[in-house]
Amino acid sequence: MIAGYIKNLKENLLQIRYGILKITSIPLLRISHSFMIETHKVTDEGYIWCTAAYPLPSNLIYEKSFAVKVKYIQKTTGLFVKVTGRAKVVNPSFNTRYFEKNESAGMTENVLLLKIKIEEANYYKKRTISAYTTFLQVVNNFTFRVLPGTRA
């Protein structure tokens, strides 16, 4: 069951690809602690490999790991995915080798490679209903209340 869940989560994350990473381990951080990430790979072991813009707080770059939440939203299909976990910045020398290989893809040295261990993931698809169905729901739920002292 877990393998099927990871497979489904992997498909959803790679389909959406871009998300917003929020650092939750530093609640009093004075600068913005939300960053856009691009997901490159989701492993069967429950790791998300992604890239983020370099201006992450410098104290986090050398930490062992830090708590994060990542939200993925695909408006066209109404798919929402929320992942909580622990992120770690991969060794900067590995970053250099990784980006030298992928420089043709438009990657620059101002990007960090992150590895996020998935601790919890929730996803759902927002149901869309037609305008007619919404109208029927409004009409059927609308009731007239009889005020005291008046006739019905």
Rounded distance between C-alpha atoms, residue 71 and residue 18, angstroms: 9
pLDDT value, residue 104: 47
Q: pTM (2 decimals)? A: 0.69
Cα–Cα separations (whole angstroms), residue 8 to 22, 122, 139, 148:
23, 11, 38, 56
Instruction: Say if CB 62 and CB 91 are below 8 A apart.
Output: no
To which residue do tokens 């006739």 refer? 151
151 C-beta neighbours (distance < 10 Å), count: 5
pLDDT tens, N- to C-terminus, the chain (152 residues): 467 778 888 998 988 999 999 888 765 555 557 888 999 999 999 999 998 876 666 666 667 888 999 999 988 788 899 999 999 988 655 555 555 555 544 555 667 889 999 999 998 877 666 676 666 666 666 544 555 665 54
pLDDT value, residue 143: 44
Q: What is the chain's length?
A: 152
Instruction: Give the start-to-end residue ranges of the domains of the chain.
Output: 2-126
Assess if CATH 2.30.110.10 describes domain 2-126.
yes
Rounded distance between C-alpha atoms, residue 96 and residue 118, angstroms: 25
124 C-beta neighbours (distance < 10 Å), count: 10
